C-alpha cells in the first residue's frame, strides 16, 4: 500500500468535508469495493467528484522518483464526468455515493483512471478506525505483561524476538531476551513469541488493571536453515497490438535438492542503456517470481540482475557477480 499517518487534534482537523462541500461525515462502517459501485470523494485539487469502481484486485505499476513499485489487490475507479482525481488529491477517502461508507484510499492515477488502496488493510496496518463524529467509547482498563524469550537449545536470551498479544500489542526483546508489553486490555491474554529461524511459542497470562503480569519464559526451538539459490532466469515476449512486452521469470530453489521455494521475496533490477526498473515480489508454489516490462523497445538488449532473495527459513547463496540474464527484444 501507499499510505501515511499523522497525529492531529480536534482543534486542527474536523471529521467531515468542508461545510457546504463534499459528502459530509463518512460512516465508520467500511464496505468492500465491487465492480460498478458508485463512489465519491473530496480532494484538495478537484474537490468533490463522482465515479464508479471499474475494477478490483488490480495489479498496477506506479512510477516514483526512486523507481517503479508494483501494487496488487488495488481498486480502479473511473470518473462519471471526466477525471475522478488529479495531482494533489492523494490521501482522499473514497466513500460510497449512498451512505458515505469508506471504500478505499486514493494514492495514484492519471486522466483516465484513479488507483486506490482498499481501506480495510490501511486501517489494519495503522491500527486506526474511521471517525464518524460519534461519542468515543470509554477507555479500556489496561495493564502490562513482561517475560523472557530463550533459545531452547542454548538457554540464552533471543534478542530482537517479537512478542505479541491476541489484542494486537507488541514488543521486541532486548539483548537478554527480556520484554515488556504496555497498554494490554485486562483479561486472559494469549502471548506469542516469534523470531527468524525459530518456531513460535505461546502462553496465557491474566492481566489486571494497572498490574504487571508475569508471562514467565517462552522457549523457542531453532529451525534448520536451508540455502536458496537462483536456478534460472527466463525471458519471453508478449504482444499488444504494435507494442511488445518483455516478460521474465526468476526461479528460486533449495540448493541442497533443487526443490522450489515458495514465499521467497525476490528483488531484481531490469536495465537497458542507462534506464532501469526495480521489481520485487514473492515466489509462487513453483518457486517462480515473474515480472513484465510493458512496451519494451524492439532491438534493445535488457539485462535482469537479481539483487537479493530473502526467506525466513533460507539463506540466499548470492553469487559474485549476482545472478543475471539478458534478452534482446525481437518483436513480432
Question: From the first residue on, what is the mean pLDDT of each consecutive set of 10 residues in the chain (332 residues)?
Answer: 82 83 92 95 94 91 81 92 91 94 94 93 88 79 97 96 94 97 95 92 96 97 92 96 95 96 95 92 95 95 96 90 96 89
Q: Is the peptide bond before 321 cis (omega within 30 degrees of 0)?
A: yes
pLDDT at position 267: 94
Cα 64 from Cα 69, distance rounded (Å): 7
Q: Cβ distance 148 to 157 under 8 Å?
A: yes
pLDDT at position 263: 93
* SS3 call for 124: helix
pLDDT at position 155: 96
Return contacts of 152-160, CB within 8 angstroms, 24+ apart: 152/219, 152/220, 152/221, 152/222, 153/221, 153/222, 158/195, 158/198, 158/220, 160/195
Q: Is the dihedral of CA 171, 172, 174, 178 positive or negative?
A: positive
pLDDT at position 288: 97
Cα 9 from Cα 1, distance rounded (Å): 25
Q: Cβ distance 109 to 84 under 8 Å?
A: yes
Cell triple for 72: 496488487
Cell triple for 186: 485486562
Q: Which domains does the chain have, with CATH numbers?
A: 1-137 (2.40.10.10), 142-220 (2.60.40.10), 226-328 (2.60.40.10)
Full DSSP string of 280-331: EEE--TTSEEEEEEEEEPTT-EEEEEEEEEEBTTEEE---SSPPEEEEE---
pLDDT at position 312: 81
Q: How far is CA 180 from the centre of its chain?
A: 27
pLDDT at position 152: 96
Cα 6 from Cα 9, distance rounded (Å): 10
The model carries a pTM of: 0.46
pLDDT at position 326: 97
Cα 316 from Cα 266, distance rounded (Å): 10
Q: C-alpha distances in angstroms, 226 versus 143, 152, 289, 314?
A: 40, 20, 19, 4
* SS3 call for 122: helix
Residue 18 sits at φ, ψ, to 5 deg, of -55, 150
Amino acid at each position: 500500500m501507499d499510505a501515511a499517518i499523522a497525529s492531529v487534534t480536534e482543534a486542527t482537523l474536523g471529521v467531515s468535508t468542508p461545510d457546504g462541500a463534499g459528502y459530509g461525515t463518512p460512516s465508520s462502517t467500511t464496505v468492500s469495493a465491487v465492480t460498478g459501485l458508485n463512489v465519491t470523494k473530496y480532494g484538495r485539487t478537484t474537490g468533490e467528484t463522482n465515479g464508479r469502481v471499474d475494477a478490483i484486485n488490480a495489479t498496477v505499476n506506479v512510477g516514483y522518483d526512486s523507481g517503479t513499485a508494483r501494487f496488487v489487490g488495488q481498486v480502479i475507479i473511473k470518473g462519471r464526468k471526466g477525471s475522478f482525481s488529479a495531482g494533489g488529491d492523494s490521501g482522499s477517502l473514497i466513500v460510497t455515493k449512498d451512505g458515505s461508507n469508506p471504500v478505499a484510499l486514493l494514492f495514484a492515477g492519471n486522466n483516465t483512471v484513479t488507483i486506490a488502496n482498499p481501506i480495510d488493510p490501511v486501517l489494519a496496518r495503522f491500527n486506526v478506525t474511521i471517525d464518524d463524529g460519534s461519542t468515543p467509547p470509554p477507555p479500556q482498563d489496561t495493564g502490562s505483561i513482561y517475560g523472557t524469550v530463550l533459545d531452547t537449545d542454548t538457554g540464552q536470551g533471543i534478542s530482537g524476538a517479537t512478542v505479541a498479544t491476541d489484542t494486537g500489542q507488541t514488543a521486541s526483546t532486548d539483548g537478554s531476551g527480556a520484554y515488556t508489553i504496555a497498554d494490554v486490555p485486562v483479561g486472559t491474554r494469549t502471548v506469542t513469541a516469534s523470531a527468524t529461524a525459530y518456531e513460535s511459542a505461546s502462553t496465557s497470562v491474566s492481566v489486571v488493571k494497572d498490574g504487571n503480569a508475569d508471562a514467565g519464559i517462552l522457549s523457542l526451538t531453532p529451525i534448520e536453515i536451508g540455502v536458496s539459490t537462483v536456478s534460472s532466469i527466463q525471458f519471453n515476449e508478449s504482444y499488444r497490438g504494435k507494442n511488445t512486452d518483455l516478460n521474465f521469470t526468476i526461479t528460486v530453489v533449495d540448493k541442497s535438492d533443487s526443490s522450489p521455494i515458495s514465499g521467497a521475496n525476490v528483488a531484481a533490477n531490469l536495465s537497458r542503456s542507462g534506464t532501469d526498473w526495480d521489481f520485487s515480489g514473492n515466489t509462487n508454489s513453483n518457486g517462480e517470481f515473474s515480472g513484465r516490462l510493458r512496451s519494451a523497445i524492439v532491438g534493445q538488449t535488457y539485462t535482469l540482475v537479481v539483487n537479493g532473495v530473502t526467506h525466513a527459513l533460507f539463506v540466499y547463496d548470492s553469487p559474485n557477480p549476482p545472478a543475471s540474464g539478458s534478452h534482446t527484444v525481437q518483436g513480432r
